[in-house]
Amino acid sequence: MGFMKVIRRTDELVNSLMPAILCGLLAEGDTLPSDQLLGSQHNVSRTVVREAFRILGAKGLIEAKPRTGTRVAPMSGWALWDPDVLECLAETDHAARFDPHIADMRAAIEPVLAALAASRAKADQLVALQSQLRDLQQAPDASAEIRYLSCMVRISGNPFADNALNLSAWACKRYRHVPLDAYGRLTASICQGQPEAARRFALQAILDRVKTMDA
């Protein structure tokens, strides 16, 4: 089997097993079939199965134990910040029960990043943020909203903040409502160098979306 084919078949197997784990078809503690049996079931080589297990293990979804085989790991160890895990989880029937938790995390993180952006923004960064806001206003969809938030996060200057965008992307893709008024006020606050106002309107944007979740 060629290298690219191995990669493709590995991705296919991961994309088959991951939703089964995240939605509970494969429950915590369940033992997965052996690599030989799983390979036979999916018509892939043992090399593909082992690589798929390695990927799922790196995301904390499965764990191998001596004499017991490979099992579904406890949810407490899942890499829920991982963009692949979040994207897959958002497409399962269990996604709605995670929405409040995502909102809680965003409310704890994004307002702080917004305040940092207001304190640290440079002139060219403000131009870029205003441009992203105009794009968002003209086409208020998930992609434009993620680009706007990504720009704000970069302005904050925190190198660890990119992970927060994975949570933002969840909300942007799950719910169509885009809080344009709050984003407009947030942008103005950042441009005017007002950290507390930026913090307030970043939180308001999240709360506006939560209202649509509860509707």
Query: Does 56 or 165 have the greater pLDDT score?
Result: 56
Does 16 score more than 70 pLDDT? yes
Alpha helix (H) residue ranges in 72-161? 83-90, 99-120, 123-138, 142-156
Domain range for 157: 94-214
State how far the Cα of 88 lies from the Cα of 86, in Å rounded to an integer: 5
Domain boundary among 79, 104, 132: 79
Residue 138 token pair:
């003209």
**Predicted local confidence at residue 213, as pLDDT:** 64
State how far the Cα of 98 lies from the Cα of 152, in Å rounded to an integer: 24
Residue 211 token pair:
């209202």
Query: Does 106 or 211 have the greater pLDDT score?
Result: 106
Q: What is the pLDDT of residues 52-80, one digit of tens each?
A: 999 999 999 999 988 888 999 999 999 98
Q: How many CB atoms lie within 10 A of CB 138?
A: 8
Share of the chain above pLDDT 70, in %: 97
Is residue 110 in a domain? Answer: yes
**Predicted local confidence at residue 166, as pLDDT:** 85
Q: Tell me which long-range contacts 45-53 makes (C-beta under 8 A, separation of at least 24).
A: 45/1, 45/6, 45/9, 47/1, 47/6, 48/1, 48/6, 48/9, 48/10, 48/13, 49/13, 51/6, 51/10, 52/10, 52/13, 52/14, 52/17
Domain boundary among 28, 52, 79: 79
Tell me the sheet residues that pair with 71.
31, 63
Three-state DSSP state, 78: coil
* 205 and 136, same domain (yes or no): yes
Does 37 score more than 70 pLDDT? yes
Is residue 176 in a domain? Answer: yes
Is residue 88 in a domain? Answer: no
State how far the Cα of 84 lies from the Cα of 190, in Å rounded to an integer: 31
Instruction: Compute and round to an integer the Cα radius of gyration of the chain.
Output: 21
* 112 and 197, same domain (yes or no): yes
Q: What is the pLDDT of residues 100-159, one digit of tens each?
A: 888 899 999 999 999 999 999 999 999 999 999 999 999 999 999 999 999 999 999 998
* 69 and 141, same domain (yes or no): no
Tell me the sheet residues that pair with 62.
72
* 171 and 115, same domain (yes or no): yes
* 58 and 110, same domain (yes or no): no
The CATH number linked to 64 is: 1.10.10.10
Torsion sign over Cα 154, 160, 161, 163: positive
Q: What is the pLDDT of residues 83-100, one digit of tens each?
A: 899 889 888 887 888 888
* 71 and 141, same domain (yes or no): no
Domain boundary among 47, 79, 111: 79
State how far the Cα of 91 lies from the Cα of 68, in Å rounded to an integer: 31
User: Considering the entire predicted model, what is its pTM?
Assistant: 0.81
* 198 and 112, same domain (yes or no): yes
Contact 159/120 with Cβ under 8 angstroms?
no
**Domains held by the chain: number:** 2
* 61 and 164, same domain (yes or no): no
**Predicted local confidence at residue 134, as pLDDT:** 98
Is residue 86 in a domain? Answer: no
* 56 and 137, same domain (yes or no): no
Does 215 score more than 70 pLDDT? no
* 198 and 137, same domain (yes or no): yes
* 134 and 191, same domain (yes or no): yes
